[in-house]
Amino acid sequence: QLAKAINFGLLYGMGAGTFAKYAQSNYGVTLTEEEAQQYRALFFDAYPGLRRWHRRQAGATDGKAITTRTLLGRYRLEVMKYAEKLNTPVQGSGADGLKAALALLWERRHECPSARVVLAVHDELVVEVPRDDAERAQEWLVRCMEDGMRPLLDPVPCVVEATIAPTWGG
């Protein structure tokens, strides 16, 4: 839970105080502000490129709106808030990859013709399929999602997890 709080909190530019509150409210992890600052320092020591990117975004506007882009070049106009400058390239690029995965699922539907994509939310897809085809659909889904994200992340590997469950809720 701490790793999730660090990754999702600090990626989007939280300071130590906000990070400590976020870790508690979202992940049940209690941190003092000093501990939160230590984790923050360690995180940015491990990812100095991310620190540089955050600093560039902080000073990018000089009080004026800017345009920010995803890795595929999709843009968002008139961004002024620091969190939005950080969020759009990350979340937007994830959305671009998910859209590419959806296109691949359609193009490759012959690989698992009984499967139907019924829901897409953030970074998740729900596929309905007869029980007998569940494992085949799982492999098809994982392959398409990894192939959809790979061009955005290369050389960083993309790992996709898929769960077979009797209901949408798992």
Q: Extract the tokens encoding 84.
A: 């939005």
User: Per the structure block, which two tokens stand in for 74?
Assistant: 């999709």
pLDDT tens-digit profile of 32-84? 999 999 999 999 999 999 999 888 887 765 667 888 899 999 988 888 888 88
Is-contact 126 101, C-beta < 8 A? Answer: no
| Token output for 154 | 């290369």
Distance CA 91, CA 156 (A): 16
What is the pLDDT averaged over residues 11-40? Answer: 94
Packing angle between helix 16-27 and helix 2-11, nearest 10 degrees?
A: 130
pLDDT in tens, 121-163: 888 999 999 999 999 999 999 999 999 999 998 898 889 999 9
Residue entry with tokens 């960083």: 156
Whole-number pLDDT of residue 164: 96
pTM attached to this predicted model: 0.79
